[in-house]
Amino acid sequence: MSMNEKPTNDWDPRSDDITRDQAAAYDDMRHRCPVAHSDYLNLSLFRHDDVMRVLNDPETFSSAVSSYLSVPNGMDPPEHTQYRSIIEPYFSPQRMAVFEPVCREIALRLANGLSRGGKVEFNAGFAQDFAMQIQCAFLGWPQDLHEPLLHWIRKNREATLTGDRNALDRVALEFDTYIKGLLAQRREAGADAPDDITASLLRDRIGDRLLQDDEIVSILRNWTVGELGTIAACVGILAHYLAEHPDVQQRLREQPSLLPKAIDEILRIRAPLIANRRISTKPVEIGGREVPAGQRITLIWASANRDETVFGDPDEFRLDRDPASNLLYGSGIHDCPGAPLARLELRIGMEELLARTTWIALVPGSLPTKAVYPAAGFSALPLCVE
């Protein structure tokens, strides 16, 4: 095939066969066609080695793929480096230590509020509220923003799934309006503004100037989209896995100190984030396939983190794996700056869930509904909680 010829499709990411069981389908693609083209996801990479090669070569594989300003996810060095230096201090050990008791109080209250002795819709009854309340508390956002944000996340997911550009533009504008309203409130309050992260970003500088509103909105959009949907998916995946694997659940109830490693391992097995994007800056070869400059590339985390050449049996639960191989939070210069916050939230959420319950079980005869790309985890998750 010539470089200018349109490639043929190797798979259809939206077909029923794929969406019925995404993890199994990605496993199959990793073996059958590890570098695969589709109109929907362009060139998809399924193997751990190929994904790592892209992550470790930002000059050849650019992150500037979005038509919207994306700080810092959609940037390359040196611009990316400047913005990362502003963002990383918000996830410092000191900030995490200050936020931990706030996080624990929210997790404790929600765990105590779960209905006992019958079927619980766990996503609606715990996971989504946990993600929303935790993130708004971290950012200093008011409670009356919870419901609009939940609606916004749903609309953003639907627009992303359909690829409707007009809908995506409307959803982006809606979010910008929320955040710019918060920024205006803090400016008007002056010295009386709450001492929160949102107000702090108004004082941050890039070079010799203050961050612009569009940059702050982009940072907060990334944190919100990245945290709310993904943390809710993570909590649902973790609870379901423990219900499905009572031996692991019992072990973690008896040894909660194992939770940090166990959480990362469960989320390696069952991905909360399916994919990420790059674009090639020059012609290159990947997995025996010629890739032209300007080729959009999708990194399938959900496959790379189950690659047998790195992890052996991908479904085997092990706590002795090399954490550097786990791509749960990415790798390279674009590894997730919010990983310390996510790990804190998930650890505390699971600690309180296990401490405030005696057992979590599957509901006989009631199957969960798996989420469909770009979402992960479950769209409905019935569980029994004692």
Residue 70 is part of which domain span? 20-385
* Number of structural domains in the chain: 1
Q: Does 309 fall in a domain?
A: yes
Per-residue pLDDT of the chain (386 residues; tens, 9 = 90+): 444 566 789 999 999 999 889 999 999 999 999 999 999 999 999 999 999 999 999 999 999 998 888 999 999 999 999 999 999 999 999 999 999 999 999 999 999 999 998 899 999 899 999 999 999 999 988 888 888 787 777 777 777 667 777 887 787 788 888 889 899 999 999 889 888 999 999 999 999 999 999 999 999 988 887 678 899 999 999 999 999 999 999 999 999 999 999 999 999 999 999 999 999 999 999 999 999 999 999 999 999 999 999 999 999 999 999 999 999 999 999 999 999 999 999 999 999 999 999 999 999 999 999 988 878 999 899 999 99
Q: Does 6 fall in a domain?
A: no
Q: Does 11 fall in a domain?
A: no
Q: Does 170 fall in a domain?
A: yes
CATH number where 319 lies: 1.10.630.10
- The verdict on pTM exceeding 0.85 is yes
pLDDT of residue 4: 53
pLDDT of residue 2: 46
Q: Does 82 fall in a domain?
A: yes
pLDDT of residue 161: 67
Q: Does 12 fall in a domain?
A: no
Helix, strand and coil content of the chain, in percent to the nearest 5, comes to 55, 10, 35
Burial of 124 from C-beta contacts in 10 A (0-12 / 13-18 / 19+): exposed
Q: How far, in Å, CA of 362 to CA of 113, rounded?
A: 19
Q: Does 7 fall in a domain?
A: no
As a dihedral over the C-alpha atoms of residue 278, residue 210, residue 193, residue 198, rounded to 10 degrees, the angle is: 10
Q: Does 4 fall in a domain?
A: no
CA distances from 41 to 70, 208, 318 (A): 19, 39, 32
